[in-house]
Chains A and B, each alone.
Chain A
Amino acid sequence: MYRSLSVRQKQIVWAWAFLAIPVVFYAVIRFYPTFNAMVISFQDWNLLGDRAWAGWKNYDKLWNDPVFWKVFKNTFVYLLIGTPVSLVVSFAIAYHLDKLRFMHGFLRMLYFLPFMTSAVAMAWVWRWFYQPVPIGLFNNFLAATGIPQIEFLRSTSFALPAILAPAVWAGLGFQVIIFMAGLRAIPRSYYEAARIDGVSNWTVLFEITIPLLKPTIVFIVVFSSIGFLRIFDHVFNMTTGDPGGPLNSTKPLVLMIYQSAFTDFNMGYAAAQTVVLFLILLIVSLVQLRILRDR
């Protein structure tokens, strides 16, 4: 039967034969679990025993759960502080690093290093930095200079920024590299023309560099937004004694999902939160792509 096909048809058959691998992979590894999670979100299931249909119960519980709204807010605080801060800082570093020739490769490596480090190891080291006297690095320094110590992780107002700082730092290396690649891709001739016209550095930055970096910025904003909306390892490891910080002040949605599923064994409730997170990620990504692309 294969022999009777035309060359064009044979090409199509082969194309599909090769495509079948990623298609099957996506169907089994991605779409099936996603679909299953949506089904579980309408069920009651404690991992042991049978699943029972629960209708909208899990979503109803979520709507009326004050912890969920607290966590919802935290998740957006991570996003709304984390993304702009990391964007500005990484651009500033990349912009200046790009102009620097002395030890360029070494410095770039230093900025990239945290990105390659395990988030768990990093979180535990920062957890130690933030401890109160007598062991914490920062507080020992404050105590030595006579300044009252700050309860970084045991404070309802400082805990979230304290956790966000190493998370921003960890992602910086990657963003710096992407920005530098973007900067290199801008044709030199624009800068030369600007110099001949005698334009100031600020004008060059705002009229040439940033507009031409738009695709890079779009990529980094979308990428880091998704990262901050899914923040988990830093929070989990820095607050294991009281997961999610004092009075849930640092708990992001992913940690709440984890706790519902694997400490409360309430799989239906966890799945409902997952569906909500999925919708948030979808909406945020679509909005960002729309806003940053057509203007």
Chain B
Amino acid sequence: MYGIRFKSATVAIGTVLALAAGTAKAEVEIEYWQYFFDARVSAMEQLIENFEAANPDIKVTMTHFPYADYRTKVAAAIPAGEGPDVVQLFYGWLNDYVAANLIQPLPNDAFPPDMIGEEFFPMVGAMRDGDNYWALPTAVRSLALFYNKRLFEEAGIDGPPKTLDELVETAKKLTKTDAAGNITQVGITAGMNAQDHHWFREVLVRQFGGDPYQDDYKTVNYNSDAGVMAAEFYVGLANEHKVTAFGFMDEPQAAFKAGRAGMHIDGSFRIGSLNKTRGLSWGVTELPMNADGMKSNYSSYWVNAITTKAEGEKYDAAVKFMQYVTSDEAMQIWLDVVGELPAKPSVGLTEANANDDVFGPFIRGLAYANTTKFANESAQRQILIDMVQRIDLEGQSAADSIAAAAEAEQKLLDEYYN
């Protein structure tokens, strides 16, 4: 925050001096808000710098807040005519923001809907309502299978698994137990509290022949044979094959970082922190397919939107800024700084990016990814956490547990949409 204040102070002094010299052009100042995440803030600083260089008459001030306060601040500021002209929000919050009249649709001339539909990855279509887009992402994220190269070498495994069956076999070779039979190294991490609930919903259920939701994610549909088989497979990793333990080392990503897990499913946003982990030699590959070769993935994204506070010349400046942050150049910067994937195939699927050892598997995953439309992501995640625990801790059958989860989630969706 200090850095930004200092920067705006120096800019302000510069403006005053320029005005005194009588050479300054009238400046439009717009505000941009996002939540605090180190890499995102520095990427955005870089984007703002480039944008200001190209548009000397526009000044962009960025403010960021801890994630926990973000929604409260946005909700309080915009109706009061304060706060951001351009705001960042999670794709799943769009309905709430539109209903509360916090954001306005993007203008058709600057953002032609048909062109956007062609240029962006298909899941961005969720931001379209009739003839307008409400918001657009700079970057998207998807899942992939991280693996520990050193442990693979130690176990004499030549490469990461390609199918679910291979996944189980590979994990067996990577699992270690102590004399008392307690697992001290897991073949693959497991925990619905991490990214596994996405893997279960959008990948496993589909790979076992199901379709997790219907009716534009308003109807739960995993209470089927496919859902039961997916749950049996997932819980079986711990209870039947004994290649993992739920709650092992507190968090899945902690176990992987500590070199105590052979494999780990996580999002592209994890790349940065794994790169900073000393002594960890890791690789990443696409999520395993099923026996028939069917692949699936989950993707999510944060979007930027113009708030209802932006009017007149601020609105015009906000449109220009939105155009820049959704440009190819901005997407490449975001990929390089944050590690999040470009939202357009034209940037993402360039030869260099798609064949990149690290980004490649995630970018290729985008081509067959699905985006869950959550009504309340943490509550829906909790339902799957409970589903696994009823099987694991209370010995409920997978069929009963899936049925109970589907019922609870349907109730939640009905409450949200009606």
B71 → chain A closest CB, angstroms = 6
A49 near B71 with CB under 8 A, answer no
- From B97, B101, B182, B191, A241 is in contact (CB under 8 Å) with B191
| Total B residues in contact with A, Cβ cutoff 8 Å | 37
Q: Kindly identify, within residues 162 to 211 of chain A, every residue whose CB is under 8 Å from any CB belonging to chain B.
A: none
Which residue on B lies nearest to A154, using beta carbons? Answer: B247
- From A128, A132, A246, A265, B245 is in contact (CB under 8 Å) with A132
A242 near B182 with CB under 8 A, answer no
Cβ of A47 < 8 Å from any Cβ of B? yes
Name the prevailing secondary structure of the A interface residues. loop
In the complex, chain B residues whose CB is within 8 Å of the CB of A153: 247
Which residue on A lies nearest to B250, using beta carbons? Answer: A131
Beyond A48-B102, A135-B250, A139-B182, 16 additional pairs, beta carbon < 8 A: A47-B75, A48-B71, A48-B96, A48-B100, A133-B180, A133-B182, A148-B180, A149-B182, A154-B393, A156-B393, A241-B250, A247-B390, A247-B393, A247-B394, A263-B379, A264-B378
19 A-B interface contacts by CB (under 8 A): A47-B71, A47-B75, A48-B99, A50-B100, A127-B250, A131-B249, A132-B182, A133-B183, A134-B184, A143-B178, A146-B179, A153-B247, A241-B191, A241-B250, A247-B389, A247-B394, A262-B68, A263-B376, A264-B376
In the complex, chain B residues whose CB is within 8 Å of the CB of A49: 75, 96, 99-101
Cβ of A155 < 8 Å from any Cβ of B? yes
- Whole-angstrom distance between the alpha carbons of A132 and B179 in the complex? 15
A233 → chain B closest CB, angstroms = 15
- Whole-angstrom distance between the alpha carbons of A271 and B183 in the complex? 44
Which residue on A lies nearest to B378, using beta carbons? Answer: A263
Which residue on A lies nearest to B194, using beta carbons? Answer: A241
Interface residues of A (CB under 8 A from B): 46-50, 127-128, 131-135, 139, 143, 146-149, 151, 153-156, 241-243, 246-247, 259, 262-265
A281 → chain B closest CB, angstroms = 26
- From A131, A139, A241, B193 is in contact (CB under 8 Å) with A241
A149 near B180 with CB under 8 A, answer yes
B393 near A246 with CB under 8 A, answer yes
Q: Kindly identify, within residues 50 to 108 of chain B, every residue whose CB is under 8 Å from any CB belonging to chain A.
A: 68, 71-72, 74-75, 96-97, 99-102
B193 near A135 with CB under 8 A, answer no
Which residue on B lies nearest to A46, using beta carbons? Answer: B96
- From B248, B379, B393, B394, A132 is in contact (CB under 8 Å) with B248
Q: Kindly identify, within residues 143 to 193 of chain B, every residue whose CB is under 8 Å from any CB belonging to chain A.
A: 178-180, 182-184, 191, 193
- Whole-angstrom distance between the alpha carbons of A241 and B197 in the complex? 13
In the complex, chain B residues whose CB is within 8 Å of the CB of A148: 180
A156 → chain B closest CB, angstroms = 6
Please judge, given known A-B contacts A132-B247, A133-B182, whether A242 and B385 are in contact too, CB under 8 Å: yes
B97 near A48 with CB under 8 A, answer yes
- Whole-angstrom distance between the alpha carbons of A149 and B179 in the complex? 12
In the complex, chain A residues whose CB is within 8 Å of the CB of B180: 133, 143, 146-149
- Whole-angstrom distance between the alpha carbons of A186 and B111 in the complex? 81
In the complex, chain B residues whose CB is within 8 Å of the CB of A155: 393
A135 near B249 with CB under 8 A, answer yes
In the complex, chain B residues whose CB is within 8 Å of the CB of A241: 191, 193, 247, 250-251
Residue among B183, B390, B393 facing the most chain A CB atoms (10 A cut-off): B393
Which residue on A lies nearest to B180, using beta carbons? Answer: A143
B389 near A246 with CB under 8 A, answer yes
In the complex, chain B residues whose CB is within 8 Å of the CB of A127: 250
Cβ of B260 < 8 Å from any Cβ of A? yes
Which residue on B lies nearest to A146, using beta carbons? Answer: B180
Q: Kindly identify, within residues 245 to 261 of chain B, every residue whose CB is under 8 Å from any CB belonging to chain A.
A: 245-251, 260
In the complex, chain A residues whose CB is within 8 Å of the CB of B260: 134
B393 near A48 with CB under 8 A, answer no
- Whole-angstrom distance between the alpha carbons of A243 and B192 in the complex? 13
A138 → chain B closest CB, angstroms = 13
Residue among A132, A139, A151 facing the most chain B CB atoms (10 A cut-off): A132
A257 → chain B closest CB, angstroms = 15
- From A46, A50, A143, A243, B182 is in contact (CB under 8 Å) with A143
- Whole-angstrom distance between the alpha carbons of A134 and B260 in the complex? 9
In the complex, chain B residues whose CB is within 8 Å of the CB of A264: 376, 378-379
- Whole-angstrom distance between the alpha carbons of A190 and B101 in the complex? 74
In the complex, chain A residues whose CB is within 8 Å of the CB of B96: 46, 48-49, 265
- Whole-angstrom distance between the alpha carbons of A46 and B260 in the complex? 42
Q: Kindly identify, within residues 362 to 380 of chain B, every residue whose CB is under 8 Å from any CB belonging to chain A.
A: 376, 378-379
In the complex, chain B residues whose CB is within 8 Å of the CB of A265: 71, 96
In the complex, chain A residues whose CB is within 8 Å of the CB of B193: 241-242
Q: Kindly identify, within residues 112 to 146 of chain B, every residue whose CB is under 8 Å from any CB belonging to chain A.
A: none
Cβ of B328 < 8 Å from any Cβ of A? no
Cβ of B386 < 8 Å from any Cβ of A? yes
A249 → chain B closest CB, angstroms = 9
- From A50, A133, A147, A263, B178 is in contact (CB under 8 Å) with A133
Which residue on B lies nearest to A130, using beta carbons? Answer: B250
B303 → chain A closest CB, angstroms = 16
- Whole-angstrom distance between the alpha carbons of A147 and B378 in the complex? 37
- Whole-angstrom distance between the alpha carbons of A212 and B306 in the complex? 69
In the complex, chain B residues whose CB is within 8 Å of the CB of A259: 378
- Whole-angstrom distance between the alpha carbons of A28 and B191 in the complex? 45
Which residue on B lies nearest to A244, using beta carbons? Answer: B382
Which residue on A lies nearest to B375, using beta carbons? Answer: A264
- Whole-angstrom distance between the alpha carbons of A127 and B251 in the complex? 12
A209 → chain B closest CB, angstroms = 45
In the complex, chain A residues whose CB is within 8 Å of the CB of B393: 154-156, 246-247
A125 → chain B closest CB, angstroms = 13
